[in-house]
Chains A and B, each alone.
Chain A
Amino acid sequence: EAGVAQSPRYKIIEKRQSVAFWCNPISGHATLYWYQQILGQGPKLLIQFQNNGVVDDSQLPKDRFSAERLKGVDSTLKIQPAKLEDSAVYLCASSSYLASYTEAFFGQGTRLTVV
């Protein structure tokens, strides 16, 4: 079974530029998450999708962050404009809606450095 795919693995941009990250979840997983992990901290949920609908985006900084999930499969997370404090690893995860618990399968992440 293929895992969660993310690209790019690394990205360096200047502040005020825009950046986009892509995620392809495990086939058949209806739920997709984007997490932000700042160095030395645990992952923080940015947004949760169920199929192509948003379940929870309460912690997404909507003035600069946006996310979409096309056709309930792939997802993109965009930051525009980026700030220095956005430097972090952006993790995508997916889980099966049918499970009675949430076991999330994570991609390797995209490490963003804003300079």
Chain B
Amino acid sequence: SQQGEEDPQALSIQEGENATMNCSYKTSINNLQWYRQNSGRGLVHLILIRSNEREKHSGRLRVTLDTSKKSSSLLITASRAADTASYFCATDEEAGTALIFGKGTTLSVSS
């Protein structure tokens, strides 16, 4: 089963703009992660936020987590054409369990 929903399903922006995508999940979690998938490729880990954290930064990425609302957001600042990809949130209920993925947001960044 899928954990939850990403919102929006698709997002189109210009280079230099910021992109924000949201994720909701259903069960209690150990961690929440964001993955990127370029067309025709496997998924690549971007960033992890633990259930006791509220915000995390990594380069141009900013992730927030609100466990009371069971939601997370991923912000990509100053987007580039190379950021064009699908982005998925994934959660694990406890260490050692498999990741459960959302349905993803498809981001298109045009130059």
Q: Which residues of A line the B interface, CB within 8 A?
A: 4, 31, 33, 35, 40-45, 48, 50, 55-56, 59, 91, 93, 97, 99-109, 111
User: Do residues B96 and A97 form an inter-chain contact, with CB atoms below 8 A?
Assistant: yes
User: Chain A residue with minimal CB distance to B30?
Assistant: A101
Q: What are 12 contact pairs spanning A and B, CB under 8 A? A: A42-B101, A45-B98, A45-B99, A56-B98, A91-B42, A93-B42, A97-B96, A99-B95, A101-B95, A103-B45, A103-B48, A111-B40
User: Do residues A104 and B103 form an inter-chain contact, with CB atoms below 8 A?
Assistant: no
Interface size class of B (residues with CB under 8 A): 20 to 34
CB distance from A112 to the nearest CB of B (A): 14
Question: What's the Cα separation between A16 and B64 when bound, in Å?
Answer: 46
Q: Which residues of B line the A interface, CB within 8 A?
A: 1-2, 30-31, 33, 40-45, 48, 50, 88, 90, 92, 95-104
**Which residues in B have their C-beta under 8 angstroms from that of A44?**
1-2, 101
Q: Nearest 6 pairs between A and B by C-beta?
A: A106-B42, A42-B101, A106-B43, A48-B98, A102-B92, A101-B31
User: Do residues A41 and B98 form an inter-chain contact, with CB atoms below 8 A?
Assistant: no
User: Chain B residue with minimal CB distance to A31?
Assistant: B96
User: Do residues B42 and A42 form an inter-chain contact, with CB atoms below 8 A?
Assistant: no
User: Do residues A91 and B97 form an inter-chain contact, with CB atoms below 8 A?
Assistant: no
User: Do residues B44 and A106 form an inter-chain contact, with CB atoms below 8 A?
Assistant: yes
User: Do residues B101 and A33 form an inter-chain contact, with CB atoms below 8 A?
Assistant: no
User: Do residues B2 and A102 form an inter-chain contact, with CB atoms below 8 A?
Assistant: no
User: Do residues B31 and A42 form an inter-chain contact, with CB atoms below 8 A?
Assistant: no
**Which residues in A have their C-beta under 8 angstroms from that of B44?**
106
